[in-house]
Amino acid sequence: MFNWLGLGKKRSKFGKWLDREGISQLELERRSKLSRGTISRLCNDDSYRPKHSTIAKIKKALKQLGKNVPDDFFNV
């Protein structure tokens, strides 16, 4: 029913964690200075393997928000 809105899309473990923490993809995009596509892949594609520099930017952005992300989200 809501599929055309993108609701009910399968989320990655990291995406589900962001949802629980109340952090929007847009906020993470702005703070990390990563592209919308990169953030989207992190949040929706469990098979995506980000570069170490991407992970560092994500961790830095989340630290600014007072959050620490577990390493196992990125399967590196």
How many residues comprise the chain?
A: 76
- Nearest alpha-carbon partner for 54 in 9, 10, 13, 14: 14
Q: Which domains does the chain have, with CATH numbers?
A: 9-66 (1.10.260)
User: pLDDT for 2-36, tens place per residue?
Assistant: 444 556 678 998 999 999 999 999 999 999 999 99
3-state secondary structure at position 33: coil
pLDDT value of residue 8: 66
Contact 44, 36 (CB under 8 A): no
pLDDT band at 70 (very low <50, low <70, confident <90, very high): confident
Q: What is the C-alpha to C-alpha distance for residues 3 and 52, in angstroms, rounded to an integer? A: 33
For residue 61, is pLDDT > 80? yes
